Structure 1
């Protein structure tokens, strides 16, 4: 036999260049969670890295792994968070059981695989909660049917070596297409005006899907306003007025799948302040708030891209989100339980006291300042203020957030 054999990469050995989506229902209450399979869907593009197949970030409260069934080898994994996990920390979850539609995506396997889903326990350790065999060649895998027009907002190259953002419209009717397109342009302009996204602009693609709604605007239950919209977003999530979120994540993915994407960001047709962002899930915010729109975009995307924690205090209905005897997985929060393992610790001046007192004369001194993760005691943040804190009074991320963002971009663009 003559000639050279080209060695296959792990991606080429195990996967096709498209996406398999595993839809399921996440069910339970404050103390229990279960997973119930719904269906498998094929999506036409794979936008993710073909090199960074295994997740070693340590982020997220959920984790799924894909194993080649024949060899038992782990061939893909990703960490993530969900709206259900947040709901589990609310007072309602102590007395009510609930189910939410969710899904995970991975490169389309060539052969049979096994999926395993893990969740962190009270001590912050991942425990296996679910597993199921998957036959990617089954005729029960639902094929993708395109329904919507798409357009590019910012294109810089191959999706597998870029961070791909898809912009989804919420509450724009058929005759508001140009309004949405203009909002997309503003998103890109604002997003790339903040560091470290500005310096990494060439490593991003931004595309949009034009999915019009039947009615204009968004649902605001507290004001008795209900709208028939494409993504079914609503304010007053968890009875918090400005928390605008979407419960039907599967429906949102149906829209996003029209383009290659790593991350979903929803632009809602409203001036009302509010939105949210969840790691490897989606982000959403008001596209027409009269000011601060760009800061809101990058703040929420900090959650979406790598799960940066909120550094502010109060204004939420969560209970025990950050137990003080467990080290948070977020790069920018600590309880000092296991601070030594964080990159943040390595960045500190050895003379900096821990905890660090706030000094108004040095507002940008890297330290360990008490107050963060919605509470004023027991959780600490890197700077007195940052775009993950009171974004209305500052225009930059702290060094800890900035470095973590850059590392996550590197991970996705390999």
Structure 2
């Protein structure tokens, strides 16, 4: 999850840059850095005497971000830190060389700032950015290598920003909205829903050339919350691209993210952070001389909580939607017992039915019981990213799993009347093709099992 490899590369490749240590201030602390998404805000164009203003600006951004969906629901999945990087002068460069406006829109100026940000990047006046990435990553490597997403706040009242490996925003009018929009690009891989110009769009969460409502990537949202297939323009290349909504933060500031973008944001959160913050007991940490034996989950819960949990003991359901259970002597068999809890998010922000990818998380305890009592308890935590595509399909479906610990899964394909049509095994990090050409047209359910424990079910259509 964290950028330790980049940290090593920074040390190897930019050792000529003096390692500078700056003050790091905590803006928002939700949990351990290795179990949260760490947003790290860097100051640019703030003199030493203005760093208190930077902390105010960073705090205002953070506070605003977590009042908006879906961040307010998933606020406990994030930490926010600020690195106080002083500049020799206030502000940022404006060379007045943009070709998309009549320059100078405001007076041309050159400022001595740490990261050398500038308006007019690539000829676009409002594109505020820096290509001095070695400086950015050197500061991160030496001050906060556990970062997940850097954000550069530029001390300028003029409107500007950019997405990319690091998000950049000015601090003037609509500053917080700019920063959140650019974060949509940088961390969550969202595209602009206004037309950004020929050659600047590609297939993504919220942009496509697909026009068939049964095939478009946001097909589950069609007709809900004003989601449809809207062309970017009426002629030329813009008419060949489509967005899911007419009013989304990726198009206009001051409005919410559309449902498709909200779903994309949450799916990225799930790919970075497990909702299982911790659990007990960990391997061999329990006093096994007495019953009952307590098992506990500490979950990072959305607000309101949308996590579901299913506890299974020796392949039989034991409990649902609880954070802790107790097991007594008569619950266990002599020999090896397996206790598993599977956690998934059923938020209404997600429409995973027929969706390409789902995220599932689990803890399994192996409990060894003898005539003398409990001999051993070991534990294993895992996470799964399970993908099924294309959907619908008339010939082949592709199944893929990525997991924290490499495993093989069994997949049973069931018809709606409950008949098992096909069973197959799939391996981690391999794309497994399943031939469905002989299936009758209709809806089927793919059940994914790990050690006979149902992880998730996905519906697909044979056409």
After TM superposition, the score normalised by the length of structure 2 is 0.52
Q: CA RMSD in A?
A: 2.9
Number of the residue aligned with 1:41: 10
**In structure 1, distance between residues paired with 2:3 and 2:266:** 26
1:328-359 CA-to-partner distances (Å, cap 9, x unmatched) read: 3310011117876654123324xx9xxxxxxx
Query: Are positions 1:336 and 2:189 aligned together?
Result: no
1:16-51 CA-to-partner distances (Å, cap 9, x unmatched) read: x982328xxxxxxxxxxxxxxxx93349xxxxxxxx
Distance apart, 1:195 and its partner CA? 0.5
Number of the residue aligned with 2:227: 366
Give the direction of change, closer, same or farther, for the CA distance of 1:226–1:143 in structure 2 (3 Å limit). Answer: closer
* Aligned ranges 1:49-88 → 2 under 5 Å: none
**In structure 2, distance between residues paired with 1:143 and 1:21:** 16
Distance apart, 1:143 and its partner CA? 11
Number of the residue aligned with 1:19: 4
Query: Are positions 1:407 and 2:267 aligned together?
Result: yes
The one of 131, 144, 148 aligned to 1:262: 148
1:200-225 CA-to-partner distances (Å, cap 9, x unmatched) read: 11100011111100111111111320
Q: Contact between 1:170 and 1:267, CA under 8 Å: does it hold in 2?
A: yes
Give the direction of change, closer, same or farther, for the CA distance of 1:375–1:297 in structure 2 (3 Å limit). Answer: farther
Distance apart, 1:187 and its partner CA? 1.1
Number of the residue aligned with 2:53: 179
Number of the residue aligned with 1:312: 194
Query: Are positions 1:207 and 2:91 aligned together?
Result: no
1:148-189 CA-to-partner distances (Å, cap 9, x unmatched) read: 111111011112221111000010011111111111110111
Number of the residue aligned with 1:245: 129
The 3-state SS of whatever aligns with 1:208 is strand
Residue-pair matches, total: 261
Q: Contact between 2:43 and 2:54, CA under 8 Å: does it hold in 1?
A: yes
The 3-state SS of whatever aligns with 1:166 is strand
Number of the residue aligned with 2:110: 226
The structure whose residues are more often strand, as a share, is 2
**In structure 2, distance between residues paired with 1:148 and 1:306:** 28
Q: Contact between 2:159 and 2:175, CA under 8 Å: does it hold in 1?
A: no
Query: Are positions 1:348 and 2:222 aligned together?
Result: yes
The one of 142, 161, 168 aligned to 1:275: 161
Q: Contact between 2:198 and 2:237, CA under 8 Å: does it hold in 1?
A: no
**In structure 2, distance between residues paired with 1:337 and 1:321:** 19
Q: Which protein shows a greater Rg? A: 2
Query: Are positions 1:302 and 2:302 aligned together?
Result: no
**In structure 1, distance between residues paired with 2:136 and 2:21:** 13
Q: Contact between 2:211 and 2:229, CA under 8 Å: does it hold in 1?
A: no
Number of the residue aligned with 1:117: none
1:257-292 CA-to-partner distances (Å, cap 9, x unmatched) read: 3112100000000110010112xx1101112x13x2
Number of the residue aligned with 1:99: none
After TM superposition, the score normalised by the length of structure 1 is 0.58
Q: Contact between 2:188 and 2:268, CA under 8 Å: does it hold in 1?
A: yes
Q: Relative contact order: is structure 1 or structure 2 higher (C-alpha 8 Å, sep ≥ 6)?
A: 1
Q: Unpaired runs of 5+ in structure 2?
A: 97-106, 275-463
Give the direction of change, closer, same or farther, for the CA distance of 1:343–1:161 in structure 2 (3 Å limit). Answer: farther
* Aligned ranges 1:159-198 → 2 under 5 Å: 159-198=33-72
Number of the residue aligned with 1:386: 248
Q: Unpaired runs of 5+ in structure 1?
A: 1-10, 12-16, 23-38, 44-102, 104-139, 323-327, 353-363
